[in-house]
Amino acid sequence: MKLRDLLFITSFPLVVIGPILVGVISYQFLKESTFDKLQVVNAIHTEDFVELHITARHDILVKNKMDGLKNYVKAYKDEVVVEIQSEDESYEGSFVVVDNQGDHFFYNREYFVGVTDSELGMSLAGLKQGTRIIELKGKKYVFSKLQFLPWKWDIYGLYPIEETSELLKEVAFAVFLVCGLILVALFTVTSLMYRYFVIKPLSEINSFSERLSNLALDGRLRIKSPEEFRALSKHLDRMRVSLTENIGKIEKANEELSQFSYRTSHDLKSPLTASKKLTEYILQDIDSGDIEEAKSSVKRVQSQVTKLESLVDDVLSLTKIDLITENEIEFDLNALIDDIVDKRKTFFEDDCCVFSASVELADPIISGHKIRYQQIIENLVSNGFKYQDEQKENPYVKLHVACVGDLLSIIVEDNGVGIPDKYHNEIYQMFKRFHPSLASGSGLGLAIVKKHVEKMQGSIHFSSSPQGTIFQVDIKRN
């Protein structure tokens, strides 16, 4: 079910039932308030009638000292009865006078059609204290009662409720109609607002999410309001940017993997092919009795196997960089450098190149992945020895470790042949060898160093010239 359909289903009953409920409630409220006002108005009419038509005549009799004369009193009473039995255009109701002296009823018989004196007497006699309505022949009246003691009269003012009910119905219908129009207007405005502030943003988010799932990463998602959707759109757009970056990284990694597979297979095959050919020569030399030549070929096979072993070791080192799961440990950097020197001791001693190491740290104990630091230092130092310049006197490789602020700086300097300027942009690429005539190698050393530095969120930069090369690695010290 779509959101707009759900909105219609939930809102439609409000538009239909709302006005009805408001109309019913309004009718009941108006009925009560109107009934109370009607009683007040009817009481005022009754009081006015008594004051103007009965009390005024009695005052005249008293003033003229004729209140004791029955004929005059009767004449005045008859005048009042005539007025009661006639219609009063200013008053929609009618009056009933009960003469308690002779149990007579005076009223407009044309107004109370079909009502007999006995029925009227019973209805009036049956009124209890607190009763507000009297019923005659199925019709309901609101009444007010006054007593005029000098004449022993009870005067009732009766006003029909039917006319008030019709008015109330008309008012209730008008309220119903107005409320209906108001609710329809509110529903329309709410629907438009809901469509603009809810449905439209959700549709855009849904469309954007669908594009993300299909890796269609062009175009940004911009929703300004409401605030919750704006925040969500920002998160989704960040996801788009992150996906774009990750896809770029994946594509780059795939390209590197393709090159890695090709170069690895090529570099692995070369020493194997050479060794295979050399073994054929060895067999031929043995058959011909040329043992010295066979020994020479054996040494060349050993060289090819050593080269193959070195390549395999470098490939394993490169592939394990992302797989290092050991916890960071505390270790002595001086002891690590001593281990590296001992491991390559034969390599260093057989060379006229001088190696020196200095560690300027107040505390040589550092925390981190020991294998990463070891491979960074080993590869940088080994490159310095491999590519020394035989034309220079006193070749050297210097390792210097110092703390600069919160950074641990590892600097390896040599006075070797340097790296040609045209290769500076390719220096960290895999299988790149810039001086293959000087030394054999896999061309993976600097790629390994670069990946280790990136994993530790450090930086590496270099400067090189025919006078030598300096590599500097900066890693935040833990």
pLDDT digits (tens, 9 = 90+) for 325-374: 567 788 898 998 888 887 766 555 556 788 888 988 888 898 888 888 88
pLDDT tens profile 217-249 = 777 777 776 777 777 778 778 888 888 888 888
Of the listed ranges 292-301, 358-367, 396-405, the least confidently predicted one is 292-301
Is pLDDT of 149 > 60? Answer: yes
Are the C-beta atoms of 456 and 475 separated by less than 8 Å?
Answer: yes
pLDDT of res. 473: 94
- For the segment 61-83, the average pLDDT, to the nearest whole number, is 88
CA distance linking residue 133 with residue 383, whole number of Å = 115
pLDDT band (50, 70, 90) for residue 399: very high
Three-state helix/strand/coil letters over the chain? CCHHHHHHHHHHHHHHHHHHHHHHHHHHHHHHHHHHHHHHHHHHHHHHHHHHHHHHHHHHHHHCCCCCCHHHHHHHHHHHHHHHHCCCCCCCCEEEEEECCCCEEEECCCCCCCCCHHHHHHHHHCCCCCCCEEEECCEEEEEEEEEEHHHCEEEEEEEEHHHHHHHHHHHHHHHHHHHHHHHHHHHHHHHHHHHHHHHHHHHHHHHHHHHHHCCCCCCCCCCCCCHHHHHHHHHHHHHHHHHHHHHHHHHHHHHHHHHHHHHHHHHHHHHHHHHHHHHHHHHHHHHHCCHHHHHHHHHHHHHHHHHHHHHHHHHHHHHHHHHCCCCCEEEEHHHHHHHHHHHCHHHHHCCCCEEEEEEECCCCEEEECHHHHHHHHHHHHHHHHHCCCCCCCCCEEEEEEEEECCEEEEEEEECCCCCCHHHHHHCCCCCCCCCCCCCCCCCCHHHHHHHHHHHCCCEEEEEEECCEEEEEEEEECC
pLDDT of residue 107: 86
Q: Cα(471)–Cα(431) distance, rounded to whole angstroms?
A: 19
Position 256 scores a pLDDT of 67
- What is the pLDDT, as a whole number, of residue 401? 92
User: Does the structure show a pLDDT above 90 at 470?
Assistant: yes
**What is the share, in percent, of the chain residues with pLDDT greater than 90?**
8
| 130 confidence band (pLDDT: 50, 70, 90) | low
325-476 fold:
Heat Shock Protein 90 (3.30.565)
Average pLDDT over residues 26-35: 64
More confident residue, 346 or 48: 48
Strands 94-99 and 104-107, by their bridges, are antiparallel
| Across 68-82, 141-155, 157-171, 397-411, least confident range | 157-171
Q: Does position 62 have pLDDT exceeding 60, yes or no? A: yes
User: What per-residue confidence (pLDDT) applies to 212?
Assistant: 74
Average pLDDT, integer, range 451-466: 89
- Please say if the pLDDT value at position 460 is more than 90: yes
Residue ranges of the domains in the chain? 3-169, 221-266, 325-476
pLDDT at 270 over 80: no
Under a CB-based contact definition with an 8 Å cutoff, are residues 336 and 344 in contact?
no
* Cα distances (angstroms) measured from residue 64 to each of 47, 79, 197: 24, 18, 86
pLDDT > 70 in the chain, percent: 77
pLDDT at residue 436, as a whole number: 63
More confident residue, 360 or 433: 360
Whole-prediction pTM: 0.45
